[in-house]
Amino acid sequence: MRNQGVIGWLLVLPAAALLALFTHWPVLGTIWASFHATSRGGRPAPWVGLENYQVMVADEVFWRSLWNNVWYSLGTIPVSVTLALVMALWVNSAMKGRTWLRVAFFTPTILPMIAVANIWLFFYTPQYGLLEKVTTSLGFPTHNWLGTESTALACVMVVAIWKDAGFFMIFYLAALQSIPPSLAEAAALEGAPRATYLRRIVLPLLMPTTLFVLVNAVINSFRLVDHIVVMTRGGPNNATSLLLFHIYQVGFSFWDTGYAAALTVVLLAILAALAIGQFVFLDKRVHYQ
């Protein structure tokens, strides 16, 4: 059908135009800028080739942020996705008080991060913070959670898990609701136990959602830094500096736009590689109708 092509493009066009204007065009601008020095005082920026990328290799804060980000992703993604699934199963069942559970699990999506990060800051405050009230009553010595290099990153990871799991739960819940009850009836007729039903029927049917959630979890772990800004500003001694936070500092505190552009390109390359990898790897295991 010839006019299929025409209609297809007409349907895509409005979205494509806006995407081009507000995403692709600025991204191309960013890539272009990454090969230039930073322009100061309105003078045109000279072409420097790969110099910004060479600077990056020697930039200790960049490497520290990158490693922090790797640990942060490895720590937050599996936990938040698993919790999201478990939460969805629970609030989808006939459990007592599930209305309240829904509200509880849903709060992270409602409360703005810039405000909630301040509340978490209180939870972690030494001596009279909520966490300290619990640990000291159990007899542990007081600890400066956010002010110690060894625990600060773990603390901000907990905040991210809290935020993400509640958010991803919604997608799992939507997916669970669309599983036809006939499947459960059929499984019950065959006498399959609950674990088998969940593993052999529910999980495979949730695969497209899992793929979607995973891609989002990876992206979120690289792009949500509001809580870092409020809680630690990357400290102590860059222990909680994540890649985007570093980019934000270079770009909007140091105003080194050329170098910030180069860092952005690297971040985009990492995300693109991860996303494509996930699609290729998982698409084989995802079955659409």
Partner 1 sequence: MSRLYEPAGGWRALETGAAWLLGALWILPLAYAVWTAFHPAAYSARFDLSAPLTLENFRRAWEAAPFARYFANSFALVTMVLASQFVLCTLAAYAFARFEFPGKEVAFVLVLVQLMIMPDVLIVENYRTMWRLGILDSIPAIGLPYVASAFGIFLLRQTFKTVPRELDEAARVEGAGPVAVLLKVYVPLARPVYLAYGLVSVSYHWNNFLWPLIITNSVGSRPVTVGLQVFSSGDQGIDWSIITAATLMTSGPLLVGFLLFQRQFVQSFMRAGIR
Partner 2 sequence: MTTRPHVLRALAAGLACLAASAAAETEISFYYPVAVGGPITKIVDQMAADFEKENPGIKVKPVYAGTYQETVVKAITAHKAGTPPATAVILSTDMFTLIDEDAIVPFDTFAKSAEDKKWMASFYPAFMANSRTGGKTWGIPFQRSTIVLYWNKELFKEAGLDPDKGPATWKEMLADAEKLTKRDASGNVTRWGVQIPSSGFPYWLFQGLTTTNGVELMNEAGNETYFDKPAVVEALQYWVDLGRKHKVMAPGVIEWGTTPKDFFEKKIAMMWTTTGNLTNVKKNAKFDFGVAMLPANKRRGSPTGGGNFYIFKKATKEQQEASFKFAKWMTTPERAAQWGMDTGYVAVRPDAWQTPKMQAYVKDFPVAAVARDQLQYSVAELSTHENQRVTKALNDGLQAALTGAKAPAQAMKDAQAEASRILRAYRH
Footprint on residues 44-83 left by partner 2 (CB under 8 A): 61
Q: Does 206 bind partner 2 (CB under 8 A)?
A: no
For residues 113 and 163, is the Cβ–Cβ distance under 8 A? yes
Specify the residue, 164 or 256, whose C-beta has the smaller distance to partner 2. Answer: 256
- Backbone torsions φ then ψ of 47, nearest 5 degrees: -70, 130
Number of residues located near partner 2, criterion CB under 8 A? 32
Three-state secondary-structure class, residue 36: strand
Q: Does 164 bind partner 2 (CB under 8 A)?
A: no
Specify the residue, 15 or 58, whose C-beta has the smaller distance to partner 1. Answer: 15
SS3 readout for 110-135: HCCHHHHHHHHHHHHCCCCCHHHHHH
Considering only 29, 142, 186, 287, the residue that binds partner 2 (CB under 8 A) is 142
Considering only 106, 147, 216, 226, the residue that binds partner 2 (CB under 8 A) is 147
Give the interface segment with partner 1, choosing from 35-43, 48-56, 62-70, 181-189 (CB under 8 A).
181-189
Q: Does 82 bind partner 1 (CB under 8 A)?
A: no
Q: What secondary structure does DSSP assign to 172-198, as a single string?
A: HHHHHHTS-HHHHHHHHHTT--HHHII
**Rounded to whole angstroms, how far apart are CA atoms 126 and 154?**
16
Binding mask 230-269 for partner 2 (x = CB under 8 A): --xx-xxxx----------x--xxxxx-------------
36 - beta bridge partners? 47
Considering only 51, 53, 79, 92, the residue that binds partner 1 (CB under 8 A) is 92
75 binds, among partner 2, partner 1, none (CB under 5 to 8 A by kind): none
Which amino acid, residue 188? A
**Rounded to whole angstroms, how far apart are CA atoms 85 and 169?**
6
For residues 242 and 160, is the Cβ–Cβ distance under 8 A? no
Considering only 1, 2, 15, 41, the residue that binds partner 2 (CB under 8 A) is 41
- Residues 16 to 55: which contact partner 1 by CB under 8 A? 16-19, 21-27, 29-30
Binding mask 182-221 for partner 1 (x = CB under 8 A): --xx-xx-----x--xx---------x---x--xx--x--
Considering only 247, 249, 256, 266, the residue that binds partner 1 (CB under 8 A) is 247
Q: What does DSSP assign to residue 58?
A: H
How far is CA 43 from each of CA 39, 254, 257, rounded to the nearest angstrom? 6, 17, 13
All residues at 6 or more sequence positions from 129 whose CB lies less than 8 Å from its CB, including other chains: 122, 123, 145
Q: Does 142 bind partner 1 (CB under 8 A)?
A: no
Q: Which residue ranges make up the site for partner 2 (CB under 8 A)?
A: 40-42, 61, 118, 121-122, 125-128, 136, 139, 141-142, 144, 146-149, 232-233, 235-238, 249, 252-256
